[in-house]
Structure 1
């Protein structure tokens, strides 16, 4: 109960940062793991790097289902705790664990049964396609471990526990970073497994993260009573979870669709262009992941105070989180503008001068142009957090679909056809400008119709 009281009474700035810091550290470490993973793969083979880029949309789909469902569970638990409905909060957590297992089984079928069909749609070379299928079998097909791990993180965060979720991310990332070079290149007792080794190292790290998360949910945390032995499916609980979670899933899934669509547009120019987009997504995690960690700390605080009908604390959390996000993304913008070449050179074999030169020629304009969208993205991410915390996930979905599908893909195709490869990258800031105005309109509407009236009924009764 101490964690719940803290979310309703503690000073807002220190509260959010104390809850967000562990998640931010965990996500920065995971960003490092993603980058290190790609660096080792790139040193092994540029075809292998292209293969990882092609599979990336499927991995994003795993994240979409896992995080989207987890956000729905997190929001529901936080709101029920704020409403003092303990049994309903416990039931939401139990449903979250069960849904994670179901999702993992679905991705086993997808990863092993349909990877070849997905990869074949891009018309990549035989070498790249072979690598991509090998990687997908493990990285996507064995996603049950990361699905359960992500759900355990969200369940614990909903009650204010951020330390064990941080340790989950740290454990998985550190194990992966250690195993990556050993399994890819065959160092020590390990045979050379190439791209399969990269995927297997990822899965092993996820298993350890999951085990720690299960211990945290079932043994360590005291806010919720999660008892799967007495678990029974409840249609209303699933509906409440996906009222917020489904828009989040679709919102994350459109990122997969966007990435796949961009790969299809870019591969018509060159394989290097596809590699550059893949490298960008790895590099930008260093900027975006701290902001996502920030919103993980803010989401349960916002959800709790929305459930408690406390407008002042809800909007105070929003303003503090938005300010911090803008600062982080501003620093990221400066980094991408000043050091694009140095970042790109991490992902090439310097002994191949031609490949290195092509990566620089294509990648430097790409990183400088895409990063112009960072400040707008800060506003969009924190608005989505507020929408999810107040059970308005559909607003987040509207903004995301407009950004990722309605604007960016058509803009990228038209710009590419009319002005060439370098113009394609301008589709990112164009889409972010459109999303900014749509998000602002939706936020203003929600504030005028409900959020500004929160707590008035409570004050009237008092």
Structure 2
């Protein structure tokens, strides 16, 4: 047994909370920044093919993110289960959990990807894609669905590493995969030498190859570090582990899959304003993934700390970590908004020469990021609920945010003031939901402390 398997890289139940979160989050942030930047490269190169191709990529986002959300949910369940086991000193159980999590995730994603492959045309037609745009969607998504299993393996494998307190290695794997994607994108999209220009299809192939690289690396590392067992597991053991993971992972996946569902509804609403609006909305969504990187990194590093301290009964450390993280993201995301607002025209023109697309991207940047700090509080609350093994609360919070406030208020704003009104509705929804989330989690933690005496 290796030293890495015996104890977490960082003592999550003992080290000072703020420095611990910084040490865990910085490498994760670096890896995610690299990965997200290279993913944005996809949008940049595809935008050079034309507005229809850019619109096609925008249409694919809600559907592709549905599978990504399933993978995220399963990784949340995996991290919570393994981190709690490590916090309680159950090392053998943690290794068994890791192996079963990889198999379970691969099987579930394969099933969903097959369904998506078979239902591609009716799904995107229902979202408002025209026949010409649908042809480009098919070129991209057929390949994307075929390689989808390779997407989930690095995500769940990285969750195993994070549960043990190692965030540096996952960041390197993400960065490496993103680099492969960025190098292959222009080669496969536009062609080089004997390699033909494959257009939007080339972007999908580059993505799948980058996933393959990440899958090989993560499985090799997990086996080498003895973080997953390589011994045979009985069916009864596998079922028991699946239940543990799915008890958290299924609601977490459901909560995450609500986001692309809401995005699909918003994309359909945007389609009523024309293909330029859809293309601009797609660019805005990808810029959002960069703008919220710190929040996303914290949402991956905070849960292992919460889960291990929850398993060890140190709820005061859980409360401090949650409050410090929430206050930080509010200040950070306001600073991000100021920078984005100043750079809006430059960023918009980087992704399109179409004046209408540029105009809508600018309005997106000037309005929607105002709510990113509040959105960050909601995301951290969701991840903390899952880490406390309360996935039902996280699911209900997601439903409240997206379908009680976000979509209805965005639709109402659009009806009253057009595209800009839709963007304002998104911000108002985040304000209301963040207030609910902050109060709800703190009350839950207080109740848990009283129950434990």
Match of 1:282 in 2: 286
**Could you tell me how far apart the structure 2 residues matched to 1:338 and 1:311 are?**
41
- Quote how far apart the aligned CAs of 1:225 are: 4.0
- Quote how far apart the aligned CAs of 1:418 are: 2.8
Match of 1:229 in 2: 232
**Could you tell me how far apart the structure 2 residues matched to 1:228 and 1:190 are?**
43
Residues 155 and 279 (structure 1), Cα distance of their counterparts in 2 relative to 1, 3 Å cut? same
Residues 5 and 271 (structure 1), Cα distance of their counterparts in 2 relative to 1, 3 Å cut? closer
**Could you tell me how far apart the structure 1 residues matched to 2:431 and 2:363 are?**
19
- Quote how far apart the aligned CAs of 1:394 are: 1.7
- Quote how far apart the aligned CAs of 1:30 are: 1.4
Per-residue CA deviations over 1:327-377 (Å, capped at 9, x if unaligned) read 3312221122222111111111x4xxxx2x112222222221111211211
Match of 1:259 in 2: 263
Q: Does 1:323 pair with 2:320?
A: no
Contact 1:186 1:193 in 2 (8 A): yes
Of residues 30, 47, 55, the one that matches 1:50 is 55
Q: Does 1:404 pair with 2:402?
A: yes
Contact 1:164 1:213 in 2 (8 A): no
Match of 2:151 in 1: 146
Q: Does 1:164 pair with 2:180?
A: no
**Could you tell me how far apart the structure 1 residues matched to 2:217 and 2:449 are?**
38
Q: Does 1:122 pair with 2:127?
A: yes
Greater displacement, 164-173 / 235-244: 235-244
Match of 1:415 in 2: 413
**SS of structure 1 residue aligned to 2:146:** coil
Greater displacement, 60-69 / 286-295: 286-295
Q: Does 1:37 pair with 2:51?
A: no
TM-score (ref. length: structure 1):
0.92
Match of 2:338 in 1: 334
**Could you tell me how far apart the structure 2 residues matched to 1:9 and 1:206 are?**
35
Per-residue CA deviations over 1:267-287 (Å, capped at 9, x if unaligned) read 111111111111011101112
- Quote how far apart the aligned CAs of 1:106 are: 1.3
**Could you tell me how far apart the structure 2 residues matched to 1:214 and 1:414 are?**
47
**Could you tell me how far apart the structure 2 residues matched to 1:421 and 1:321 are?**
32
Q: Does 1:62 pair with 2:62?
A: no
**Could you tell me how far apart the structure 2 residues matched to 1:270 and 1:287 are?**
26
Contact 2:306 2:387 in 1 (8 A): yes
Match of 1:272 in 2: 276
Residues 295 and 413 (structure 1), Cα distance of their counterparts in 2 relative to 1, 3 Å cut? closer
Residues 266 and 448 (structure 1), Cα distance of their counterparts in 2 relative to 1, 3 Å cut? same
Of residues 17, 26, 44, the one that matches 2:31 is 26
- Quote how far apart the aligned CAs of 1:229 are: 3.3
**Could you tell me how far apart the structure 2 residues matched to 1:242 and 1:122 are?**
30
Contact 1:41 1:195 in 2 (8 A): yes
Match of 1:92 in 2: 97
Match of 1:247 in 2: 251
Of residues 308, 311, 314, the one that matches 2:312 is 308
**Could you tell me how far apart the structure 2 residues matched to 1:376 and 1:28 are?**
21
TM-score (ref. length: structure 2):
0.94
Structure 1: which 5+ runs fail to align? 457-462
- Quote how far apart the aligned CAs of 1:87 are: 2.9
Q: How many residue pairs end up in the alignment?
A: 447
Contact 1:17 1:294 in 2 (8 A): no
Greater displacement, 291-300 / 304-313: 291-300
